Amino acid sequence: MAQVTMTVNGKAASGEVEGRTLLSSFLRDELKLTGTHVGCDTSQCGACVVHVDGVAVKSCTMLAAEADGADVATIEGQANADGSLNVIQQAFQDHHGLQCGFCTPGMVMSAAALLKDNPKPSESDVREYLEGNICRCTGYHNIVKAIMAASGQDVGAIAAE
């Protein structure tokens, strides 16, 4: 067992972990931040995406020990300070970008990472970026729409309905 300490959503967090403990397990089981979901065991589905030092990471591919000292952001820390939905979260609700909600935390975290680097992504930019996030409910249509809307683009024109 080893002691790890990190900043999670702006607050100091620490715990005892085995060497094999994944960051996703540490967040869910130790810190009780169950918003980060685990949907596969081959690093394919992206439900567990968090930000580590500002970079989108699948938290099931990283050991908790590797995140020692890091600044970690999870879905629980994304809302505005007053508790209201942030721009991306609000766009997901407005455009029905989620159904069962299980992939949603990873989608929101990936979307935030995309928009940080590419503030006005095209539809194909969004689709390509989401290659590592699987959704089984929405067919991605409304997720793509929500992310483009969150970037301030007029989505009426891109989505024939």
Partner 1 sequence: MPKDGGIGASSKRREDVRFLTGVGNYTDDINLHGQAHVFFLRSDVAHGTLTSVDTSAAEGMPGVVKVFTGADFEGVGSIPCGWQVTDKHGEPMQEPAHPVLAQGKVRHVGEPIAAVVAETLAQARDAAEAINVDIAELPAVVDMKDALKDGATKVHDDLNNNLCYDWGFVEENKAATDKAFEDAAHVTTLELINNRLVANPMEPRVAVGDYARGTDEHTLYTTSQNPHVIRLLMGAFVLGIPEHKLRVVAPDVGGGFGTKIFHYQEEAFCTFAAKACNRPVKWTSSRSEAFISDAHGRDHVTKIELALDADNNFTALRTETHANMGAYLSTFAPSVPTWLHGTLMAGNYKTPLIYVNVKAVFTNTVPVDAYRGAGRPEATFQLERVVDKAARELGVDPIALRRQNFITEFPYATPVAVEYDTGDYHATMDKLEEMGDFAGFAARRAESEKNGKLRGLGVNCYIEACGIAPSNLVGQLGARAGLYESATVRVNATGGLVVMTGSHSHGQGHETSFAQVVAEMIGIDESMIEIVHGDTSKVPMGMGTYGSRSIAVGGSAMVRATEKIINKAKKIASHLLEASETDIELKDGAFSVAGTDKSVAWGDVTLAAYVPHNYPLEDIEPGLEETAFYDPSNFTYPSGAYACEVEVDPDTGKVSIERFAAADDFGNIINPMIVTGQVHGGLAQGIGQALLENCAYDENGQLLSASYMDYAMPRADDLPMFSVDHSCQTPCTHNPLGVKGCGEAGAIGSPPAVVNAVVDALQSAGKDVTHVDMPLSPDRVWAAMNG
CA distances to 11, 69, 114, 146 from 123, in Å: 35, 36, 12, 11
Judged by CB, which is closer to partner 1: 70, or 143? 143
User: In whole angstroms, how close is the CB of 68 to partner 1 at the nearest point?
Assistant: 20
Q: For residues 119-158, which are near partner 1 according to CB under 8 A? A: 123-124, 126-128, 130-131, 133-144, 158
Binding mask 45-64 for partner 1 (x = CB under 8 A): x-x-----------------
Interacting positions 62-101 with partner 1 (CB under 8 A):
74-76, 78-79, 85, 89, 92-94, 96, 98-101
12/20 with CB nearer partner 1: 20
Would you say 143 and 107 are in contact if contact means Cβ atoms under 8 Å apart?
Answer: yes
For β-strands 49-52 and 55-58, DSSP reports them as antiparallel
Tokens of 79: 């809302």
By beta-carbon proximity to partner 1, the closer residue of 50 and 62 is 50
Strand pairing category for 11-17 and 2-8? antiparallel
Residues touching partner 1: how many (CB under 8 A)?
Answer: 60
DSSP string, 10-49: TEEEEEEE-TT-BHHHIIIIIS--TTS----SSS-S-TTE
Candidates 24, 31, 35, 48; binder of partner 1 (CB under 8 A) is 35
Contact 76, 15 (CB under 8 A): no
Closest CA to 133 of 154, 161, 114: 114
Q: Given the rule CB under 8 A, which residues bind partner 1?
A: 18, 20, 28-29, 33-42, 44-45, 47, 74-76, 78-79, 85, 89, 92-94, 96, 98-105, 108, 123-124, 126-128, 130-131, 133-144, 158-161
